[in-house]
Amino acid sequence: MTGTQLTRRKRANGVESRQRILDAAVQIASERGYDGTSIAAVSARCGLPASSIYWHFRDKDDLLAAVIERSFETWLAAVDLPGEETGTPLQRIVAVGAAVAASLVDAPDFLRLGLMLALERRPEEPRGRAVFLQVREVARQKFTEVIETLLPDLDPANVRTVVTYALAGADGLFLQREIHGDVVDFTAMFELHARLVYEAALQMAPGTPQDQAQP
């Protein structure tokens, strides 16, 4: 009686090897970019021969796409957006900003790798870049819904403007931290950003009541 295993896939360390390969690949890709990520370097860092990498992944492009996918899932798990609390809209949007800031500190690989891939514009787009743009669009949609529920008076064009500005600010603050380190407090900058985004949205939709502006 085999019992525990439902599927036929057994044999010990297949999944672990896959994770080790991905771990090595995400490190090297973060250091050296797409072209700089050589199979030999990944092989050396994870301790498995190149042929093992090619057993787990079709080719280099497939490997890098898997790296993006996994780092996205890791990041998604790191963001826990605050639920439907009963605070003011300002408090809620600041809470969202804080959650995003914390997730980017805990799991920066996704955005770092994604931005590196997104900045490149090679004739034939790597699959990883497409994956990044796609999941990023999902994130944008999620945030759009947050804005819409928090500020129902905002017309769609203004929503788009606010969301774009909010995401751009998040990208920029993340970049700042990646490049210069914590020259200023990252979480505090995100809180400032959230406040400013909210103020901007308020100015666009004057019908919304303004909560306590001064302490």
Q: Cβ 77 to DNA, closest distance in Å?
A: 24
The least distance separating DNA from the CB of residue 134, rounded to whole angstroms, comes to 22
Q: Least distance (Å) from a second copy to the CB of residue 24?
A: 15
The answer to the question of residue 173 lying near a second copy (CB under 8 A) is yes
For residue 91, count CB atoms less than 10 angstroms from its CB and return exposed for 0-12, middle for 13-18, buried for 19 or more.
middle
Q: Which does 82 bind (CB under 5 to 8 A by kind): a second copy, DNA, none?
A: none
Total Cβ atoms within 10 A of residue 166: 26
How many other CB atoms are found less than 10 A from the CB of residue 128?
24
Residues within window 22-61 making contact with a second copy, judged by CB under 8 A: 30-36
Which ranges constitute the DSSP H helices of 79-183?
Answer: 89-106, 109-119, 127-150, 156-180
Task: Report 54-113 residues binding DNA (CB under 7 A).
Answer: 54-56, 59-61
**Using CA of residue 163, residue 165, residue 171, residue 173, what is the dihedral sign?**
negative
CA–CA gap between residue 108 and residue 115 (Å, rounded) = 11
Size of the site for DNA (CB under 7 A): 28
Considering only 62, 91, 160, 191, the residue that binds a second copy (CB under 8 A) is 160
Residues within the interface to DNA (CB under 7 A): 2, 5, 8-15, 17, 37-41, 48-56, 59-61
